[in-house]
């Protein structure tokens, strides 16, 4: 019996549902454990999309609160060898820095503000399309749930079952297409935002 691990990278959700017992998220240049299943992942992606569209920070990855929590600060029992600055010394240094010529800092702030505005203008239509996709996917999810409930009720006739099955297949194909477009848009938005820094 094999006691190691096998890593599977796939976009085939049915395959992943059948063979995977643990999911990992590859994002932002790192790999994180994902505490949930593919449905949780889809919900998280929609939350990320909504947050991006509203200019809010992305929600945390499910199950990552404990992993990413800041460590408890260590308290030393003996005094530090390096003297700590007094509040007055810190205030003097801050005041001195504030009185230095700041023309360069103002120009930098102005330039970075202009870059942020340009990035916002470039991402605005992309964010609008992401919102449209989110709305469409919610409607398709509700329709899928209703159709699955009809199928499981056992009250449909043969032709109705076939038509419901066809509609479910169509919904699945449309959702897959929308998810792919959503990924393209969010990748493009992230690339534009990373240019600004």
Q: What is the distance between the alpha carbons of residues 37 and 88, in angstroms, rounded to a whole number?
A: 54
Q: Across all residues in the chain, what is the average pLDDT?
A: 76
Question: Of 186, 191, 167, 181, which is closest to residue 133 (Cα–Cα)?
Answer: 181
Q: pLDDT value at position 108? A: 66
Q: Where are the alpha helices (DSSP H) in the chain?
A: 13-19, 38-54, 65-68, 87-99, 103-153, 158-196
Answer yes or no: is 77 within a domain. no
Domain check: are 49 and 123 in the same one?
A: no
pLDDT at 97: 46
Instruction: State CA 121 to chain mean position distance.
Output: 21
Are residues 120 and 61 part of one domain?
Answer: no
Is residue 98 in a domain?
Answer: no
Q: Is the pTM of this model over 0.75?
A: no
What's the pLDDT score for residue 182?
92
Question: How many domains does one find in the chain?
Answer: 2
Phi-psi region of 36 (alpha: psi -120 to 50; beta: other; left: phi over 0): left
> Does some domain include residue 144?
yes
Tell me the C-alpha to C-alpha distance, in Å, between residue 123 and each of 53, 111, 113, 173, 188. Answer: 9, 18, 15, 27, 8
Joined tokens for residue 39: 């449905």
Choosing from 66, 92, 108, the residue where a domain stops is 66
Residues 66, 73 contacting (CB under 8 angstroms) = no
User: What would the DSSP string read from start to end of 22-54?
Assistant: -EEEEETTEEEEE-S-HHHHHHHHHHHHHHHHH
Q: Which pLDDT score is estimated for 106?
A: 64
* Tokens matching residue 119: 């990035």
**Three-state secondary-structure class, residue 81:** coil
Q: In this structure, is residue 187 part of a structural domain?
A: yes
The tens-digit pLDDT sequence of the chain (197 residues) is: 778 888 888 777 788 888 888 888 877 777 888 888 888 888 888 888 888 888 888 788 776 644 444 444 444 444 444 454 444 444 445 444 444 455 455 666 676 777 778 888 888 999 999 999 999 999 999 999 999 898 888 888 888 888 988 999 999 999 999 999 999 999 988 888 887 76
The residue among 57, 25, 45 whose CA lies nearest residue 138 is 45
Q: Do residue 120 and residue 196 come from a single domain?
A: yes
Range of the domain at 25: 7-66
**Residue 135 belongs to domain with CATH number:** 1.10.287
**Residue 108 falls inside a structural domain:** no
pLDDT tens-digit readout, 123-175: 899 999 999 999 999 999 999 999 989 888 888 888 888 898 899 999 999 99
């Amino acid at each position: 019996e094999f006691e190691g691990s096998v890593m599977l990278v796939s976009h085939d959700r049915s395959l992943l549902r059948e063979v995977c017992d643990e999911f990992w998220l590859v994002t932002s240049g790192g790999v994180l454990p994902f505490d949930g299943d593919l449905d949780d992942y889809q919900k998280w992606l929609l939350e990320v999309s909504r947050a991006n569209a509203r200019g809010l920070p992305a929600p945390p990855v499910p199950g990552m609160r404990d992993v990413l929590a800041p460590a408890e600060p260590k308290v030393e029992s003996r005094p530090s060898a390096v003297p700590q600055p007094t509040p007055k010394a810190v205030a003097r240094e801050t005041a001195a820095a504030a009185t230095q010529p700041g023309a360069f800092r103002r120009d930098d702030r102005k330039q970075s503000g202009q870059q942020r505005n340009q990035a916002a203008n470039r991402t605005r239509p992309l964010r609008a399309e992401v919102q449209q996709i989110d709305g469409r996917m919610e409607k398709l999810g509700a329709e899928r749930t209703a159709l699955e409930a009809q199928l499981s009720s056992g009250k449909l006739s043969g032709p109705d079952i076939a038509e419901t099955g066809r509609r479910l297949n169509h919904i699945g194909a449309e959702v897959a297409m929308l998810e792919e477009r959503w990924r393209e848009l969010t990748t493009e938005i992230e690339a534009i935002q990373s240019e600004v820094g």
